[in-house]
Structure 1
């Protein structure tokens, strides 16, 4: 109540009262209130993950957009018999009531549906920055007013006037299908009741030829940790008039209850692609304003590229991602113009790339504008949220069943993650369509690592075998030291699989845990201590080397012995910043490490960590004799006991 700034009158009180007593677990999907016209309250039940201690805690209960925090307080009416229930909620439930006296009978304006709200917004206080007259005008021109009069429980998104560009071409892009794309039929979605942005719902524009999903999400914006709510249209099957991709709009006034559902007012038309990448970044108070400021102030050259007609894909860190990064390390990068240029270009690729390509396995790594640096992708299929079984009553059982079916009937989007220069990020909003490319919003800034070599190896699925080996006798604990520097050539899981196929006995001995000395011997052959060499620095070491068989060689002093670093000669290299366009378009060079005739290719360079750099290789620098002693099979401690006993027995016999 302290936070509520609206009108406090009898109508507000009546909207909080229903004339039938219900325990919270028995609440139906909707119930009429005591307010004249009997406008509805909508009930949403979401699994909470808690145990049903008193019969209702296994679910979260929302009344419109307010959550029940304490439930089932029993009382009785004045007659001492009639039961009453009090449920405590964390927000005021605001009714949709008239703000001005209309000319017609007041009863005409009680309990409006979405069509009445769209056509007579001023009557309900929808004015000024929330004015929706332009969208209403377009709906009338298209003769689709009946869409907003649909019966049942629906969700409507209505763009405000400022969302529609004054030029005719923008309005012409709003056709009947686009209007349908602003409606989710048969679902009431309040901003807080959509618990996961992975849930996507079929819009009214989901037909045989055109398929448009709607998703909702909340994000933290601004220095004051303000919460903002967004809606996204995701066109996954398009036609000649509608582009594939996502359009993201901010909900500037949400959760307006109407007789046939709920209305949200938004700052952009869904499904309509009108912005370039740069225009999208420049939006005031947008999710990407900090990234735009960083680029504009310190590397404006990139803004020229993103405003061109050439298509690009931008992986843009959200404002919240800037709160996750070490400020000192970010400032160090900003002060070094070359490092900052490399970091910003790491977020851009030179073509349009949607998550469809990534999810169907056709693309799992891409070149970025940052020379010799790639992005690597992984896909995780989300599973529905777990929930506890209901409390043992028939009414609770039916409520839980209803909630479960509601959850499962919405489509779950796969979660796409990426890695760039050692930083793992998740795409939080995918496929934002623009005229000259695609934007994916990510939750981390790429190129500013926060993990040690130890932590990186432990969290990277591609390196799990090497990490598992390195744990023997806690050999890898030194990789936690943030004051030390390391360069590691780490074999991938596939590299260890090859060892398992070709020298299975050696593989078995290394992984069985009883040959930690030999494990250490092999791993230290792959590590440099005291230096963190990037691929560029390693390549520079070979610049003046003698070319043999098409390779330039340089010997590297490892923690144990020496290996060769090889650059396959394809072109000459100067400084990265001085590359000509012709040089930049030449094929990427190949790099290898070699030991004892065994060559492994660097397949993922420059995985940066706070205390070193990891280069992933496709082979293991080892031979079978690495797990033998003096040319014979390694002897276990138990075998040594037997040998010693035989020697002593022989000596005793001679005595």
Structure 2
């Protein structure tokens, strides 16, 4: 082998072993072709990648396809920093190469399994980060991101029309007319900030989040009079730069208006309207005064994630903290608002229907309002065509008193709280679930258990709580209901014995099930501890099943309490067939509560008429258990003990025979 051939082979091996430069990596990755094309069109960027140290934040081709902003050749400079910075070394901000060197803000969002890293509102694909040295021996780092970074840009090409580069929040507010923020105008809020001499709040150095309401949000014009220094402070979150994707929904942050008397916190929430993502911000005045009402004010973010020198600005549809609308005004405030479907359903009953009129005129109400997604359920769509049934369902969502979430939780501390609704003799029942420091409120009405997803929206005449289901439209079988209802755990667990529960999924029959709630079984345990313990023993499944059979009527129809009252009043008992023995009942109503008389005892019906797709549940305060059932379990207990002793004696005798 000649020396020239050997030299060529050595050179080929060296080239093969050499690590690709970042420029070569971009050329090799087809998913970054649009970013590479943008980079090559810009003289500064194209030169820098061959000769300088740098960090590149490269959006994928899919990110460019979603991007709706201006695409001039300088956009790539906002994706480049003149320092080579790995993910480990990324600080809270890094300077870009765009004119004025505006910062790119870095967020580390800790999840249960790993940390997610965001640059402005773009998520970094951590596994695709890459670093190498270029031909000029300068270190370079490539990070792939899922969004195009969107700088704050002036109108028109270049930046010659802008009086300021890299503005802070106040400079942006003061000169907002020259920046490309669509049709939005900020003059009303700017006027209030200057009038109240609060410009220092928006001029503050550091890293903050600012919410600025657009001019359309100052209707009626009297709304402006309600904005004072404290309200302006309630539009600023200090020491946190919060972009929408990088911030978890419902995480709460203290505002500048968090002091000794007034305490205001802010959080984000996200919903989908078809394929469109809608971001909301809510201010929650957890402690107020005479001028600042307690409760939540919800505003959608009409233009999110505007980066500025001292943080990020979000333009919002209306001012936060200001409570100046009624419940019905909130429902109809925006055509695509979070409760627009609910408002449509109400108006389908006619412009002056009874429910609309009450929402308009009532002074103290609480509305549990189903979200837009809740009305899309198939079972709900069938119901709303029946206007009489729909009116009943709507009234089930209305309570004629003010019930903020903390009042419900307080009322629920010692007993299950129930609130009468606008539907006669129908109540809402509440349950509070605690997860660490967080509390989730659930509400049941008409057999449907819903979660309160957004509580305490304040109105001048009450409160609105947004819930995730339409109450009164059943969507579970009797089996699914007792399995998921937190008040019926013990009966469900007893029904696991001998597969008793399985029949309750049957859709060919209709069930009426008198279900003792957990509280009823615990009272039974205090009175009959040994019998209660026996019910859960494996070899007493037969007795347990017999007791539960007495509580269930399986027939061609199910029975509401009103149905039963017609059949069996206080003076006349009625026999209902069960698979155990006929259930002899009488029914009475007293002080808006129902009672059933069984075996000489009047038993309170705690929750009547819990509707399911294949029947009705009546939650009762005492199980249908006879003294003979208790004796039977006791006898069975003695029989089991005797059997165990006999088995033991036989075993001992058998061992002795073996010994002999």
Q: Give the shorter-chain TM-score range.
A: 0.7 to 0.9
TM-score computed with the length of structure 1 as normaliser = 0.84
CA distance in structure 1 between the partners assigned to 2:643 and 2:632 by the alignment: 12
| Match in the other structure for 1:444 | 469
CA contact (8 A) 1:276 1:436 kept: yes
1:612-623 aligned at under 5 Å gives the runs 612-623=615-626
CA contact (8 A) 1:598 1:621 kept: no
Higher relative contact order (CA 8 A, sep 6+): 1
The alpha-carbon deviation at position 97 of structure 1 amounts to: 2.5
1:352 deviates by 0.9
Q: 1:120 to 1:502 in 2, by over 3 A?
A: same
Task: Give me the TM-score of the superposition, normalised by structure 2.
Answer: 0.83
User: Does 2:593 correspond to 1:592?
Assistant: no
**Quick one: which of 602, 605, 626 aligns to 1:602?**
605
* Structure with a larger share of its residues in helix: 2
- For residues 179-328 of structure 1, the aligned pairs below 5 Å read 179-197=232-250, 199-221=251-273, 224-283=274-333, 284-298=335-349, 300-323=353-376, 325=377, 327=378
Structure 2, unaligned runs of 5 or more: 1-63, 654-660
- Indicate the RMSD between aligned Cα atoms, in angstroms: 2.4
Distance 2:125 2:321 in 1: 37
Q: Distance in 2 between matches of 1:263 and 1:292?
A: 31
Contact kept? 1:183, 1:204, Cα under 8 Å: yes
1:248 counterpart SS class: strand
Cα offset, 1:372, TM superposition: 1.6
Aligned residues: 580
User: Which of 1 and 2 has greater Rg?
Assistant: 2
Are the structure 2 counterparts of residues 104 and 516 from structure 1 closer, same or farther at C-alpha, using a change threshold of 3 Å?
Answer: closer
In the TM superposition, what whole-angstrom CA distance separates every residue of 1:336-370 from its partner, at most 9, and x where no partner exists? 33322221111110111100112234572211112
Match of 1:133 in 2: 187
The equivalent position to 2:408 in structure 1, one of 346, 358, 363, is: 358
CA distance in structure 2 between the partners assigned to 1:645 and 1:361 by the alignment: 56
Q: In structure 1, how many angstroms separate the alpha carbons of the residues matched to 2:484 and 2:409?
A: 21
Counterpart among 77, 98, 105 of residue 134 in structure 2: 77
Given that residues 418 and 430 in structure 2 are in contact (C-alpha distance below 8 angstroms), is that contact kept between their aligned partners in structure 1? yes
Displacement of 1:68: 0.9
2:73 & 2:157 partners in 1: Cα distance?
Answer: 17
Q: Report if aligned partners of 2:589, 2:595 keep a CA contact under 8 Å in 1.
A: no
Deviation at 1:48, TM superposition (A): 3.3
Cα offsets for 1:27-60 (capped at 9, x unmatched): 111111112221111111112333xxxxxxx211
> Is 1:96 paired with 2:152?
yes
Matched with 1:574 is none
Q: 1:630 to 1:427 in 2, by over 3 A?
A: closer
How far apart are the structure 1 equivalents of 2:596 and 2:293?
44
TM-superposed CA distance for 1:15, in Å, is: 0.9
SS in 2 for 1:360: helix
The runs of 5 or more residues in structure 1 that have no matched partner are 51-57, 384-411, 571-586, 650-655
Residue 534 of structure 1 and its aligned partner are, at CA, apart by 1.7
Contact 2:161 2:178 in 1 (8 A): no
| CA displacement at 1:562 relative to structure 2 | 2.8
SS of match in other structure, 1:514: helix
- In structure 2, C-alpha distance between the alignment counterparts of 1:38 and 1:631, rounded to whole Å: 84
- Evaluate the alpha carbon distance shift between residue 90 and residue 643 of structure 1 in structure 2; reply closer, same or farther with a 3 A threshold: same
Distance 2:92 2:593 in 1: 63
Would the aligned equivalents of 2:301 and 2:314 in 1 still touch at CA under 8 Å? yes
1:400 alignment counterpart: none
Task: Render the CA deviation track for 1:405-456: whole Å, top value 9, x for unaligned.
Answer: xxxxxxx652211111221111111111111111111111111122111111
User: Is 1:119 aligned to residue 174 of structure 2?
Assistant: yes
* In 2: Cα distance, 1:210 partner to 1:288 partner: 28
